[in-house]
Structure 1
Amino acid sequence: MEARRKRLVLATLCGTMFMAMIDNVIVNNALPRIGQQLHAGVGGLQWVVEGYSLVYAALLLTGGALGDRYGRRRIFLTGLVLFTAGSAAAALSASIGFLVAARVLQGLGAALLTPGTLSILRHVFTDERERTRAISLWSGVSALGLAIGPVVGGPMVQAFGWASVFWINVPIGVAALVLGLRVLPELATRARRLDLPGQLLAALGLGGLVYALVEGPARGWTDPVVLGSGAAALVTLAAFVVVERRTADPMLDLRFFRDRVLTGAVLSAFMVSFGMFGASFFLPLLLQGVMGWNPTDAGLAGLPMTAMIVIAAPLSGAVAGRFGPRLPVVTGLALCATALAGLSLYDEHARYLEYLWVLVVMGFGMGLTFAPVSVAVMGRVAPAEAGMASATVNTLRELGGVVGIAVLGAILTSRLSAALAGPLTRLGVPADARRRIADAVTGPGAAGVELPGPVRAAVNVAFVDGLHVALRAGAVALAGTAVLVAVLLRPDRARRPGVEREAVLTG
């Protein structure tokens, strides 16, 4: 394939991944306006965010399997059409129910198109160094989408309304579709049977798990619906493992996890999302709800983090290509842990320049991890397994974000409720109202919650206290992961440097 066509393929795949990643976070800035104009409560707003994540995480493995069976180009383009149509439907929504349905359609489209991107890159860029550079650029653009969402979301909402955060996807999607039809190659499909039991169990298990994690903070972790969903998800996922072990042609080859390098790579993807999605979800609540920043200023505050991702992503790919993924991945995890711990040192009175270094370190750490994880996985699996491997990495990355928001949110809410008990009792707030206040100030649209002055002051102090505990818990988890991944990604002494590894999964 000539160089010009390769560049166009890379541009198409980078554009679509940027679109899918930015959609994970840009909608957060629009939630207060959506709530006001569509008359939605906290529960409805939460599902505007999580309806996308639920379907995306639940169907990623299925998207990878369908691409292997019916052609990655065909499934990729189908997903692109669905995602673009879902974006237009979301922008035109006149009710919260229609908006959530449109977000579900977006999630379905993203689940179909995402796994094909890495496998197409692996096919098009056959030279190892060329492939590493391409994956580095692709990873950097994906990370940029996550980082730039909050930056551009606030100004867009203020200038053009909440629908603009969905309209932005439509021209990108249409351009990528036109270009993709012209330049994307059709890869050979595998002569495999569809693993329908595995696909059904994976979708139900992952969907139930995400649902329990989403509803847990709102309903309470002992709520029967939450407990039932969580238990059903665990049983279903256990059944999925049993089925995949016994199926001749599984959608997820469990030998993937026997390889310590692959295990270390996907663990890194999961934990970076765990810490950084959790922190990114609650940082706007601190800036807007406690410090009183407007959405535009709160979004622009993230520019240093975005700049560091742009710098670190290509750098990490070059380092991984020369020295292997261990150095950039472990360093990135350590920097992310440092950033979370550093952010916990500041309260509502901190000045922006005082904690600016935290955003720089956070962005650089995130940028260091994205490309090496993908490079490690794509260099370790057979070409026929690239779709499955890509889907596995992205599933765990998405689950990491959902788990991070749920776990760190639960820590924050629990600590906030405990810290609020005394002050609210002294202010004469009834016991049943305390939980509602805690839920209101940690959920979607929290920046717009109106509270009496003394109550707001007490909430701000308790919120910062709870946020500090959650951030430190995330920092400890990331630091521990850095140590474990350093062990898992240790060099193979039996192999000489510079010799390409043989794929461990061989169809």
Structure 2
Amino acid sequence: MAIMAPARGSLTLGVLAASQVVLLLDVTLVNVALPSIQRELHTSAAELSWVVNAYTLVFSGLLLLGGRAGDILGHRRVFTAGAALFTVASLLGGLAFNAELLLVARAAMGAGAALTGPGSLALIATGFPDGRARNRAYAVITSAGSVGMMLGMVVGGALIEWGTWRWTFFINVPIGAAVVVLSRSCLHESPRLRGRFDVAGALTATAGVTLLVYGVVRAAESGWEDELVVASLAVAAVLLALFVAVEARAPQPIMSLGLLRDRRRAGACVMRLLLTAAMSGMIFFLTLYVQQVLGFGPLETGLAFLPTTLTVIAANRAVPWLLQRAGPKPVMVGGSVLAVIGMVWLTQISATSTYVSMILGPVLLFGAGHGLVSVAATAMAMADLPAGEHGGASGLIQTMQVGGPLGIAVLVAVYEQVGGTRVQALAGAFTGALVLSLLMLGTALTVFGTRRRPCT
């Protein structure tokens, strides 16, 4: 394995971080732009929802394939191809003159992101030395994604207020182009795994994950009793079970089942799933609260969540040091405790609550908890990997982002079941997010051993 010099490592980290910023920036940018898109392109509510869902479905469904493609073809090559596809698709989205073209662009952006995302983690695992240097690189990448997501709400609000929704797509183009150009000179190619694609595994994994995400996304809109929801989840379960059977017999599986035999790696995946579910649900319902109850506009809403970025970055920067001295379990438990405290606070929300009294504290606490858990879980998932499995592990940990739509769908169901006033229903949804956070804490306490084993 070639380990790069410090100066080159900084350039590599800069390129990988920029890719994460643009991928996560796009998620919240587009959400802010939806009302403007609907007005200009005259889209129906169903078409508008697919502007978000087309990206989510394709991205989630192709992550495992994208990770394995990097193992076989080279992670730099696949990363660069994904960044190029994402950039061209963003340009197409900005130029779209009807809903159909915009949906095609969003699906292509999801495919590009699925190729780029796993490559970022895999290139760190194969290019940075074990220990604190590698964990620091994971922390930088995680911080970049958090900054992109939170800045997207602010930048999106500003672009909509002072310009046009099309700039929420065009803004990706110069950043993506720079990543494509610099990746060829700043990134080392990873060792390539000799072999061929596991076609059966790729088909069952892609179809299974896509139907799973479709089912939970539709459940948030139509309820869990909807026939299409039930059918898609049932078929997804069958396909994912078939995927496990195929992978157990495949000579070169798209995802080695041995990755999940490591208790720490399996626990890290569960932690990321629960963390993403709780975080996505919290942001979704707090956005409703600040806009519908407090009367915030799009730009004010983005600024309201900006403090979260500060605690995420601060916690991210502390994780490499903490992992070396305390080991992963205290970091995971500490981050989960902070998230639980933040959620307990939010369950006390009322019609007379203010931003300072009820929102600022919880988002700071949850942001710190998110920063600790996300970096530690990523480092644990990518630790001690056999040669040729970095892409598979990267695709696996990033697939846990399906927790986002799953968390929103579950908490929307809770919100609707609680009834009462809008604020009472919101308090019920936050109670549901608290349960997810408690499950995360329980996982941290029970799955990970007490031995002070650093993530390397």
TM-score by length of 2: 0.95
Partner of 1:283: 286
Partner of 1:358: 362
Write the distance in 1 (CA, Å) between the matches of 2:222 and 2:349: 30
Distance 1:89 1:349, change over 3 A: farther
Match of 1:484 among 411, 434, 443: 443
Structure 1 residues 151-184: Cα deviation after superposition (integer angstroms, max 9, x where no partner): 3321222112212221221111011111101121
Partner of 1:384: 388
How far is the alpha carbon of 1:208 from its aligned partner?
Answer: 0.6
Code of the residue aligned with 2:287 in structure 1: it is P
1:229 and 2:188 equivalent? no
Match of 1:466 among 421, 425, 429: 425
1:5 and 2:11 equivalent? no
Code of the residue aligned with 2:127 in structure 1: it is V
Would you say the 8 A contact 1:76–1:116 is kept in 2?
A: yes
Partner of 1:370: 374
Structure 1 residues 208-262: Cα deviation after superposition (integer angstroms, max 9, x where no partner): 1111111123233222222211111111111111111111211111122221111
Structure 1 residues 304-340: Cα deviation after superposition (integer angstroms, max 9, x where no partner): 1111112111112321233222222222122222222
Structure 1 residues 119-152: Cα deviation after superposition (integer angstroms, max 9, x where no partner): 1112211242221211211122122222332233
Larger of the two Rg values belongs to structure = 1
Would you say the 8 A contact 1:152–1:300 is kept in 2?
A: no
Partner of 1:48: 51
Q: How many residues align?
A: 452
1:401 and 2:396 equivalent? no
Code of the residue aligned with 1:384 in structure 2: it is G
1:406-485 map, 5 Å: 406-416=409-419, 419=420, 462-485=421-444
Structure 1 residues 355-405: Cα deviation after superposition (integer angstroms, max 9, x where no partner): 221121121111112211121122232242111111100001x11111011
How far is the alpha carbon of 1:498 from its aligned partner?
Answer: 6.6
Code of the residue aligned with 1:246 in structure 2: it is R
Structure 1 residues 481-507: Cα deviation after superposition (integer angstroms, max 9, x where no partner): 212222211234xxxx57887xxxxxx
- Return structure 1 stretches of 4+ with deviation > 6 angstroms: 498-501
Partner of 2:145: 142
How far is the alpha carbon of 1:11 from its aligned partner?
Answer: 0.5
Partner of 1:425: none
Write the distance in 2 (CA, Å) between the matches of 1:299 and 1:142: 16
Partner of 1:445: none
The sequence identity of aligned pairs, in percent, is: 34
Partner of 2:77: 74
Code of the residue aligned with 1:255 in structure 2: it is G
Distance 1:499 1:376, change over 3 A: closer
SS state at 1:278 partner: helix
How far is the alpha carbon of 1:51 from its aligned partner?
Answer: 1.1
1:162-173 map, 5 Å: 162-173=165-176
Partner of 1:439: none
Match of 1:33 among 31, 36, 47: 36
Partner of 2:319: 316
Match of 1:254 among 254, 257, 267: 257
Would you say the 8 A contact 1:64–1:112 is kept in 2?
A: yes
Write the distance in 2 (CA, Å) between the matches of 1:221 and 1:499: 42
Code of the residue aligned with 1:168 in structure 2: it is I
Write the distance in 2 (CA, Å) between the matches of 1:499 and 1:284: 37
1:301 and 2:308 equivalent? no
SS state at 2:389 partner: helix
Partner of 1:205: 208
Structure 1's unaligned 5+ residue stretches are: 420-461, 502-507
Structure 1 residues 440-495: Cα deviation after superposition (integer angstroms, max 9, x where no partner): xxxxxxxxxxxxxxxxxxxxxx3222111111011022112212222211234xxx
Would you say the 8 A contact 1:291–1:348 is kept in 2?
A: no
Write the distance in 1 (CA, Å) between the matches of 2:265 and 2:65: 20
Write the distance in 2 (CA, Å) between the matches of 1:44 and 1:28: 14
How far is the alpha carbon of 1:72 from its aligned partner?
Answer: 0.8
Write the distance in 1 (CA, Å) between the matches of 2:30 and 2:416: 22
Would you say the 8 A contact 1:132–1:321 is kept in 2?
A: no
Code of the residue aligned with 2:77 in structure 1: it is R
Write the distance in 2 (CA, Å) between the matches of 1:251 and 1:198: 6
Structure 1 residues 263-284: Cα deviation after superposition (integer angstroms, max 9, x where no partner): 1111111111000011112221
Would you say the 8 A contact 1:154–1:299 is kept in 2?
A: yes
Distance 1:174 1:415, change over 3 A: same
SS state at 1:302 partner: helix
Distance 1:375 1:321, change over 3 A: farther
How far is the alpha carbon of 1:58 from its aligned partner?
Answer: 0.5
Code of the residue aligned with 2:422 in structure 1: it is F
Write the distance in 1 (CA, Å) between the matches of 2:51 and 2:14: 29
Structure 2's unaligned 5+ residue stretches are: none
